[in-house]
A and B are shown apart, each in its own frame.
Chain A
Amino acid sequence: GAVVSQHPSWVICKSGTSVKIECRSLDFQATTMFWYRQFPKQSLMLMATSNEGSKATYEQGVEKDKFLINHASLTLSTLTVTSAHPEDSSFYICSARPSREIYEQYFGPGTRLTVT
């Protein structure tokens, strides 16, 4: 089956620093990747949609300058949390959709970010 990996699986950083999270589709090419955020005991909220080679589309309320998304290749998208603050602490999950599929999305295992 299609596999999506995320790295790191967890990270602790100090307030004011930046953190980069990688999302890779391991055995398929993904023209579209999605980034979600999940607070404890809450649902997944879509942050942005990224298409390979173009700028990401951010959902309302998501700061573009704070959450930088780059989709440089068909197998890699990165989310950089810039100048992180404790309120950015959350579970970040990416998903990828193969270009040949019309609906299926494959999710990564998630990255738990803690900002101290």
Chain B
Amino acid sequence: AQKITQTQPGMFVQEKEAVTLDCTYDTSDPSYGLFWYKQPSSGEMIFLIYQGSYDQQNATEGRYSLNFQKARKSANLVISASQLGDSAMYFCAMRALLGDTGRRALTFGSGTRLQVQP
């Protein structure tokens, strides 16, 4: 079975500093994808970054980068130069085979609430 773990319920960071949000995963599917989403208080899910299991290089999208360590099964999100608007809930998610169903779907971690302090 696939599993996503986010061990940090909450994180604080000073404005303009960098912050790393942890995510570990487990799956037997060799072809999987890892996602990070931001959910502000409004509730919408905002896609941030994607990493495929076969991608050789770490994904980057502007101030977001994904530190993909395949052997350790970790996919940490790094936000550089934090801004006040970055305060939100952040979810790590994985798209992989669901058990023996033959289907692939997104499974979400429990989330990390990030608060950026001025």
Contacts and interface: CB of A to CB of B under 8 A. Distances in A.
B50 A43 contact: no
Contact-size category for B: 10 to 19
Q: Is the interface of B mostly helix, strand, loop or mixed?
A: strand
A109 B37 CA distance: 13
Interface in A21-45: 34, 42-45
A112 interface: yes
Contacts of B95: 103
B44 A46 contact: no
Interface in B69-118: 91, 95, 103, 105-111
B110 A42 contact: yes
A109 B105 CA distance: 19
A43 B107 CA distance: 9
Interface of A: 34, 42-46, 49, 57, 91, 93, 95, 103-110, 112
Interface of B: 33, 37, 42-45, 47, 50, 52, 91, 95, 103, 105-111
